[in-house]
Amino acid sequence: MNCPLETRGTTELLVAYSSRGVDAAETVSLEKHLADCPACREFVSSQRAVWQALDLWEAAPVSADFDRRLHQRIAQQVSWWERAFGPLRPLLAYRGIPIAAAATLLVAAGVLLDRPSTPPAPPPRTAAVQVDTLQPEQVVKALDEMDALSQFNHSLKADDSEPRM
């Protein structure tokens, strides 16, 4: 048997055993375990002490007029609604004050709802890329210059291959 104190959430078995609420098969298994486990033995003995103290405890007798006194105390208690709005009761007696308060709330709500919200922030600017358009003449001139550079490069390589004196 696994130790009920080491197995999470199974101390209820030891509590039930302490109050003699376990069937015979579990009782035999638990008693074998209790013979080997000092921690469980200590737990069971402390639980049995609690159950014995509860068995010896006697509740005080209830008086004959207990129900009447309880209902009287409940009736005397002031609700939270009365505590919160009780001081305003004289003001609410005049019909004009609640109407004026409601009108003030409506005007305040209208002003708050009518107020324009802050304008949205402009989108972040991204780096602008400038694209130049090329004319066909510029492309032809650039290709001619590249051809001239290529020929110059070939002529330099040819000069390097000839032996110098």
The verdict on 72 and 40 lying in the same domain is no
Q: Does residue 157 fall inside a structural domain?
A: no
The larger pLDDT score, comparing residue 40 to residue 126, is at 40
* pLDDT over 90, % of the chain: 7
Residue 1 CB contacts under 8 Å (≥ 6 apart), including other chains: 29, 30, 32, 33
Q: Does residue 144 fall inside a structural domain?
A: no
Lowest mean pLDDT, pick from 63-67, 105-109, 151-155: 151-155
Last residue of a domain, one of 56, 76, 93: 56
Report the C-alpha gap between 33 and 43 in whole angstroms: 13
The pLDDT assigned to 161 comes to: 62
Q: Does residue 33 fall inside a structural domain?
A: yes
Report the C-alpha gap between 39 and 27 in whole angstroms: 17
Q: Domain range spanning residue 38?
A: 11-56
The verdict on 70 and 108 lying in the same domain is yes
Give residue for tokens 């308060």: 101
The verdict on 18 and 43 lying in the same domain is yes
Q: Does residue 154 fall inside a structural domain?
A: no
The verdict on 35 and 71 lying in the same domain is no
The pLDDT assigned to 10 comes to: 67
User: Can you give the pTM of this predicted structure?
Assistant: 0.36
pLDDT band of residue 86 (cuts 50, 70, 90) is confident
Query: Are the CB atoms for 17 and 27 separated by under 8 Å?
Result: yes
The verdict on 51 and 74 lying in the same domain is no
> How many structural domains are present in the chain?
2
Query: Are the CB atoms for 14 and 1 separated by under 8 Å?
Result: no
Q: Does residue 149 fall inside a structural domain?
A: no
The pLDDT assigned to 129 comes to: 67
Q: And the tokens for 66?
A: 């207990």
